């Protein structure tokens, strides 16, 4: 704030508000100045705010008057706001409300703090990984019957349910279950089509625990392994291993992407790996650091990222393998422990 | 567009993009001018766009060049954009990209079209209602055992799972299960606390089918009915009946709110009904029309809204009863068919 010459910042991104105060509302605002913090909570979250955010000043009520009251008498002339989160309309409303004070774009300040997790945060992400893995195990151990003849939606919904039974507060994002050709779309949405015996099934899922997310991807085989999918599986597995190995403190995030991408490009599938190799994960499912070709961000201890290379062949199918890792003092520790070996991914 | 003197509009809100083209991506842009439509899809959704949006021109690739190419040679000088959806950052990026063309706030144009549903849309919302009701029935018929001794998270997750088994594509929003005092918070989030025998349980849930949402709320009783909750239940039920009865074409939305609010105020709980009585529901879970005290919007045939009065007593609990209705030529048709009668809400 000092560097940007701001007297205060108004924080509105839900994950940032939660990080700073424990406030779990979707709307509201946290105001931070030199030596003071104030939470303006909307009426629907008022009771929650008074209970959970006992260590900050809470003003519950309509948002605009709450923000105006919080600023009053604090000597704020330059106020930062989150221009990557606020809509144009909301920005103008805020501007109209703060009178002669100047509203400045100031996104990323809280995001910078959130980049490096503390040990409790890493534990929460680990718990979210464990809940996701336990749910996967339940379905996998049931074998083909848990997949073949059921719709993609149903498999996704059962995975979500099993995560809740395993202690998750919910799913980290809408679970992806993509059978056969569907897996060629990285952001596939499950359909009401029944999974057929013989189709590989790509599953991209994660759990949420105490606000923290996990994010995993595996491909399981309902029968024999189709030759072409088997080939790209081995390439992706090797690329993921290379990417994981490249994770250590001090390196730029782009070098992790490069390590995985080189393996895929060498195998001739460079154009079929159409996204960055990973992203930070924590209070949001996608958060800094970006782990892609242009990311100059240096990794540091206690950052948590995904490593998830993939190969996508339209009309054929796709493979992506994803794990979550925490950067340690000397290297990395994989938070997930599901096997990658293709022979272990065939359902009985 | 003519009235606002716009040569074209760039639509970025996901539900609006889906409504116009069938595109299911989160990011992308639909450009509409006089006699032309173009969809700029991001690479991750490229295959999907080419398959599902066969009747519009699709440009898949990086978003900015896609939008620039779509505008080229169309004679666009004034371009409308969605200022209630675009972030300040995205707006400025768009502004930088379109050169000397002028970017104008133009939100709500597609929203106006979406206000009145066509018959297929009403059918899809009905199917979403049915999936939600079937799931509720499964749990309700299992009786106390489906609630008592299980955590709020687990009950919510099982309801979600049962909706998928009943044909839903997913949940319409994070399912709320609030036992005992928790129900005094309208936007309560389920916890890992086990539900105790004797606690009323407020459930606010809905399904999503083919992009369309349903939204229901009921309170079930795990044992006897606590006296104070029983009292406010009857008030809320009467208020909901009054609200539903006020729904008909030609009336202002605020009169529906008023009809329900009067019943609650007369019973002495006016200050404990802290939200509007309803909202439109369709491709988004909350969409126009707003059904609250200041809404001058007139209702018209084939609008679909929720009617959901509530009374919230901090430290005690709360009751909300919610159904979805479609405005008909002469009145309204309730799309949901779950009972409201308190005697039918006691679990065995």
Written as one string, the DSSP assignment of A120-185 is: HHHHHHHHHHHHHHHHHHHHHHHGGGGTTTSBHHHHHHHHHHHHHHTT-SEESSPPEEEEGGGGGS
DSSP track, A176-227 = EEEEGGGGGSTT----SPBPPTT-EEEEEE-EEETTEE--EEEEEESSS--H
Q: The CATH number of the domain where A108 resides is what?
A: 3.40.350.10
Length of chain A: 348
Average pLDDT estimate for A158-178:
95
Positive or negative, the Cα torsion across A301, A302, A303, A304? positive
| CB-CB contact of A291 with A306 (8 Å) | yes
The predicted pLDDT at position B66 comes to 86
Residue B224 sits in the same domain as residue B331: yes
What percent of chain A is modeled with pLDDT above 70? 100
Q: The CATH number of the domain where A167 resides is what?
A: 3.90.230.10
Question: Chain B contacts of A85, Cβ < 8 Å?
Answer: 87
Interface check for B93 against chain A (CB to CB < 8 A): the answer is: no
- Domain end, chosen from A95, A114, A133, is at A114
Residue A142 to residue A194: CA distance in whole angstroms: 17
Residue B160 sits in the same domain as residue B288: yes
* SS3 category, B147: coil
- Residue A3 falls inside a structural domain: no
Contact A185 B274 (CB under 8 A): no
In this complex, the residue of A157, A168, A275 whose CB is nearest that of residue B44 is A275
Contact B185 A44 (CB under 8 A): yes
Residue A143 sits in the same domain as residue A91: no
Contact B153 A160 (CB under 8 A): no
Contact A84 B83 (CB under 8 A): no
What's the domain range around A129?
116-345
Residue B130 to residue B191: CA distance in whole angstroms: 27
Interface check for A165 against chain B (CB to CB < 8 A): the answer is: yes
Interface A-B: count of C-beta contacts within 8 A: 114
Residue B173 sits in the same domain as residue B35: no
- Domain end, chosen from A114, A132, A164, is at A114
- A25 pLDDT above the threshold of 90: no
Interface check for B156 against chain A (CB to CB < 8 A): the answer is: yes
Residue A316 sits in the same domain as residue A216: yes
The predicted pLDDT at position A217 comes to 98
pLDDT tens track, chain B, 348 positions: 999 999 999 999 999 999 999 998 888 999 999 999 999 998 888 878 888 888 889 988 888 888 888 899 999 999 999 999 999 999 999 999 898 999 999 988 999 999 999 999 999 999 999 999 999 999 999 999 999 999 999 999 999 999 999 999 999 999 999 999 999 998 898 999 999 999 999 999 999 999 999 999 999 999 999 999 999 999 999 999 999 999 999 999 999 999 999 999 999 999 999 999 999 999 999 999 999 999 999 999 999 999 999 999 999 999 999 999 999 999 999 999 999 999 999 999
* SS3 category, B244: helix
Which residues are paired to B213 by β-bridges? B208
In this complex, the residue of B154, B187, B190 whose CB is nearest that of residue A165 is B154
Average pLDDT estimate for A193-198:
96
CA atoms within 13 A on the CB side of B54: 2
Interface check for B337 against chain A (CB to CB < 8 A): the answer is: no
Q: What is the DSSP letter of B328?
A: -
Interface check for B41 against chain A (CB to CB < 8 A): the answer is: no
- A105 pLDDT above the threshold of 90: yes
Residue B80 to residue B109: CA distance in whole angstroms: 10
Interface check for A107 against chain B (CB to CB < 8 A): the answer is: yes
CA atoms within 13 A on the CB side of A207: 30
Residue B264 to residue B244: CA distance in whole angstroms: 14
Residue B321 to residue B243: CA distance in whole angstroms: 11
Question: Chain A contacts of B45, Cβ < 8 Å?
Answer: 185, 187
- A329 pLDDT above the threshold of 90: yes
Selected residue with higher pLDDT from A65 and A289: A289
Residue B239 sits in the same domain as residue B260: yes
How far, in whole angstroms, is CA A44 from its chain's centroid? 27
Q: Look up tokens 């890792």; give the residue.
A: A325
Interface check for A134 against chain B (CB to CB < 8 A): the answer is: no
Phi, psi (deg, nearest 5) at residue A142: -70, -20
Total domain count, chain A: 2
Interface check for A152 against chain B (CB to CB < 8 A): the answer is: no
Interface check for A24 against chain B (CB to CB < 8 A): the answer is: yes
Selected residue with higher pLDDT from A187 and A172: A172
- Residue B39 falls inside a structural domain: yes
- Residue A262 falls inside a structural domain: yes
Residue A204 sits in the same domain as residue A223: yes
* Whether residue A289 has a cis bond before it, omega within 30° of 0: yes
Interface check for B163 against chain A (CB to CB < 8 A): the answer is: yes
- Residue A1 falls inside a structural domain: no
Which residues are paired to A37 by β-bridges? A32
In this complex, the residue of A47, A105, A156 whose CB is nearest that of residue B185 is A47
The predicted pLDDT at position B175 comes to 96
The predicted pLDDT at position B275 comes to 95
- Residue B2 falls inside a structural domain: no
Interface check for A57 against chain B (CB to CB < 8 A): the answer is: no
Token pair for B32: 């509409």
Interior angle at CA B185, CA B297 and CA B298, nearest 5: 5
Residue B54: how many other CB atoms lie within 10 Å: 10
Question: Chain B contacts of A157, Cβ < 8 Å?
Answer: 160-161, 163-165, 170
The predicted pLDDT at position A152 comes to 96
In this complex, the residue of B161, B170, B184 whose CB is nearest that of residue A158 is B161
Give me the numbers of helices (H) and strands (E) for chain A, helices first please.
Answer: 9, 19
Residue B148 sits in the same domain as residue B297: yes
Task: Name the closest residue on chain B to residue A169, using Cα atoms.
Answer: B153
Q: Look up tokens 């509720």; give the residue.
A: B136
The predicted pLDDT at position A187 comes to 84
Residue B103 to residue B67: CA distance in whole angstroms: 13
Residue A237 to residue A239: CA distance in whole angstroms: 5
Average pLDDT estimate for A56-65:
85
- Domain end, chosen from A89, A114, A139, is at A114
Residue B245 to residue B217: CA distance in whole angstroms: 18
Residue B132 sits in the same domain as residue B235: yes
Burial class (CB in 10 A: 0-12, 13-18, 19+), B173: middle
Interface check for B87 against chain A (CB to CB < 8 A): the answer is: yes
Task: Name the closest residue on chain A to residue B273, using Cα atoms.
Answer: A44
Residue A190 sits in the same domain as residue A98: no
| Residue range A252-270, pLDDT digits in tens | 999 999 999 999 999 999 9
- Residue A2 falls inside a structural domain: no
Confidence at A46, pLDDT banded by 50, 70, 90: confident
Task: Name the closest residue on chain A to residue B50, using Cα atoms.
Answer: A314
Q: What is the DSSP letter of B345?
A: G
The predicted pLDDT at position B51 comes to 82
Residue B341 to residue B348: CA distance in whole angstroms: 16
Q: Look up tokens 């990011």; give the residue.
A: B27
Confidence at A47, pLDDT banded by 50, 70, 90: confident
Average pLDDT estimate for A286-313:
97
Task: Name the closest residue on chain A to residue B172, using Cα atoms.
Answer: A174
- Residue B3 falls inside a structural domain: no
Interface check for A116 against chain B (CB to CB < 8 A): the answer is: no
Q: In terms of pTM, does the model score above 0.80?
A: yes
Residue A182 sits in the same domain as residue A301: yes
- Residue B66 falls inside a structural domain: yes
Burial class (CB in 10 A: 0-12, 13-18, 19+), A229: buried
- Mean pLDDT estimate for chain A: 95
Contact A192 B169 (CB under 8 A): yes
Residue B247 sits in the same domain as residue B286: yes
Positive or negative, the Cα torsion across A155, A161, A162, A163? positive
CA distance B201 to chain A (A): 18
Contact A47 B314 (CB under 8 A): yes
Task: Tell whether ipTM is more than 0.90.
Answer: no
Which of A157, A208, A275 to probe by mutation at the B interface, max B CB count within 10 Å? A157
Whole-angstrom CA distances from A63 to A14, A16, A68, A104, B134 are 14, 17, 9, 19, 38
- A65 pLDDT above the threshold of 90: no
């Amino acid at each position: 704030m000092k560097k940007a010459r701001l007297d205060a910042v108004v924080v509105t991104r839900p994950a940032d508000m939660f990080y700073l105060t424990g406030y779990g509302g979707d709307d509201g605002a946290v105001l931070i100045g030199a030596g003071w913090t104030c939470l303006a909570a909307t009426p629907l979250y008022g009771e929650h705010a008074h209970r959970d955010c006992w260590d900050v000043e809470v003003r519950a009520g309509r948002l605009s008057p709450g923000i105006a009251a919080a600023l009053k008498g604090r000597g704020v002339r330059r106020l930062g706001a989150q221009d990557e989160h606020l809509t144009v309309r909301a920005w103008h409303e805020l501007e109209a409300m703060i009178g002669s004070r100047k509203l400045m774009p100031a996104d990323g300040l809280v995001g910078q703090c959130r980049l490096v997790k503390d040990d409790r945060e890493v534990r929460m992400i680990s718990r979210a990984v464990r809940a996701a893995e336990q749910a996967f195990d339940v379905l996998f151990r049931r074998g083909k019957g848990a997949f073949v003849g059921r719709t993609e939606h149903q498999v996704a919904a059962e995975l979500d349910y099993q995560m809740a039974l395993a202690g998750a507060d919910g799913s980290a994002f809408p679970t992806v279950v993509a059978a056969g050709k569907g897996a060629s779309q990285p952001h596939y949405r499950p359909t009401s089509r029944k999974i057929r015996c013989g189709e590989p099934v790509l599953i991209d899922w994660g759990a949420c625990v105490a606000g923290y997310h996990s994010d995993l991807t595996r491909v399981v085989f309902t029968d024999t392994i189709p030759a072409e999918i088997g080939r790209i599986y081995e390439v992706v597995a090797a690329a993921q291993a290379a990417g994981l190995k490249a994770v250590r403190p001090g390196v730029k995030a782009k070098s992790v992407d490069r390590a995985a991408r080189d393996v895929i490009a060498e195998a001739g599938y460079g154009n079929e790996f159409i996204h960055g190799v990973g992203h930070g994960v924590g209070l949001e499912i996608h958060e800094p650091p970006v782990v892609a070709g242009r990311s100059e961000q240096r990794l540091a201890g206690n950052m948590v990222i995904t490593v998830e290379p993939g190969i996508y062949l339209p009309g054929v199918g796709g493979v992506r393998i994803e794990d979550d890792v925490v950067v340690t003092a000397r290297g990395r520790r994989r938070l997930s422990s599901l096997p990658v070996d293709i022979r272990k991914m065939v359902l009985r």
